[in-house]
Amino acid sequence: MAFTCMEAVVGFMLLMYLFETYLDFRQHAALKLPTLPKTLQGVISQEKFKKSRAYCLDKSHFHFVHEFVTILIDAAILFFGILPWFWKKSGNFLPLAGLNKENEILHTLSFLAGVMIWSQVTDLPFSLYSTFVIEARHGFNKTIWLFIRDLIKGMCLAIVLGPPFVSAIIWIVQEGGPYLAVYLWSFLFVLSLVMMTIYPILIAPLFNNFTPLPDGELRLKIEKLASSLNFPLKKLFVVDGSTRSSHSNAYLYGFFKNKRIVLYDTLIQKCKNDEEIVAVIAHELGHWKLNHTMYSFIAVHILTSFQFGGYTLVRNSTDIFRSFGFDTQPVLIGLIIFQHTVIPFQHLVSFGLNLVSRSFEFQADAFAKKLGYRSSLRACLVKLQEESLSAMNTDWWYSAYHYSYPPLVERLVALDEADKKEE
């Protein structure tokens, strides 16, 4: 008896769960190792190693439970026909509110409202446990008020931004004709540019406070570095990341001649040596100078164009919709089904993108080193690893499959090997 499309999708989901669980067990075994890798011996203190080991093992145990519950729910939703049942129920709700059940846009928005509520109900216990048990136990957490406030703000943003976006997608699919893939890709391309423009200016400030970096040695050094690389720095901000977590970061954003640099206050607190902070900025500027952001942006949109092209080939297949329990072919459901049918391709693409991202990180490290920041970058990477309690021991298979950033050991080895080649 031949498998239906839905059964094949559920089967692959279960196979991928088993494969990724195998990788998780390999990583869990690596986390249990009682000693530091040779590269980090004498670099990371035993106290920090023990704290890191305990934190990562806590997260690993939690991850096993979370993933098991998630795959059970996801597989059940598809296998037992909960998806088409929920779609019909969301449509039946519309007449009760005095709305037209036959309007696909209204039906879709009703469906998505239910999905958002369901997601919050099922995800909230895990989020609360992760944030206020695991993270709090190891010194990383935000207050319950901030958690609730961020949750409410996120839902409000979804309510405000979601309907216009979803309505536009449905309209394009209904009216797109033979050039549907081109119209969808063009819409997503323009939307991504708009969001990249407005997110740091209008949306990010809803969740964090951005203040100009005060005048002083650090600001002068960053401006001097940016000027030496012809980076068109317009504004230099500090964001209050410490209100939510002790984890650190820095990033660049902006188009053309209007660039900004943002430092997390936790980065300034942990890397108290100005040269170390500037080394991190040199790494980020390396990504800009080597066009990594542009290459990633282009790659993502090329892949998106292929996905939309594939979607246009299957969106009118009544057999595929029926295998998932649908006797109609709604646009959103078609997109959901298509995303499930290309899961094998998505896993391969994700793995490939991770490999490229890791290569970019090594290149950005090498760029900072050529500017004379090797020792400072090395020292700051170690401090950030210590303070974030990131995994010191990693399984090679797990790292290659999941990590878009190379583990600290690999980055330090790469920096040191570069030195040896120059000697």
Active site residues: 284, 365
Tokens of 25: 């067990």
- Residue 264: count other Cβ atoms within 10 Å of its Cβ: 22
**280 in Cβ contact with 218 (< 8 Å):** no
Sheet strands (E) in 163-296: 210-212, 233-239, 250-253, 259-264
Own/partner long-range contacts of 261-265 (Cβ < 8 Å, ≥24 apart): 261/222, 261/226, 261/233, 261/235, 261/236, 261/237, 262/200, 262/210, 262/237, 262/238, 263/213, 263/236, 263/237, 263/238, 263/239, 264/238, 264/239, 265/238, 265/239, 265/240, 265/241
Enumerate residues 6+ apart whose C-beta is below 8 A from 375. none
5/93 Cα distance (integer angstroms): 29
**260 in Cβ contact with 285 (< 8 Å):** no
- Residue 292: count other Cβ atoms within 10 Å of its Cβ: 20
Enumerate residues 6+ apart whose C-beta is below 8 A from 53. 31, 32, 392
3-class secondary structure, 103: coil
Query: Using only C-alpha atoms, what is the Rg of the chain?
Result: 24
User: 287 labelled as ligand-binding?
Assistant: yes
Centroid of chain to Cα 421: 35
User: 283 labelled as ligand-binding?
Assistant: yes
280/286 Cα distance (integer angstroms): 10
**285 in Cβ contact with 320 (< 8 Å):** no
402/353 Cα distance (integer angstroms): 10
**333 in Cβ contact with 339 (< 8 Å):** no
Q: Which amino acid is at 175?
A: E
User: CA distances (Å), 263 to each of 139, 219, 270, in order?
Assistant: 21, 11, 12
Binding site, annotated residues for Zn(2+): 283, 287, 361
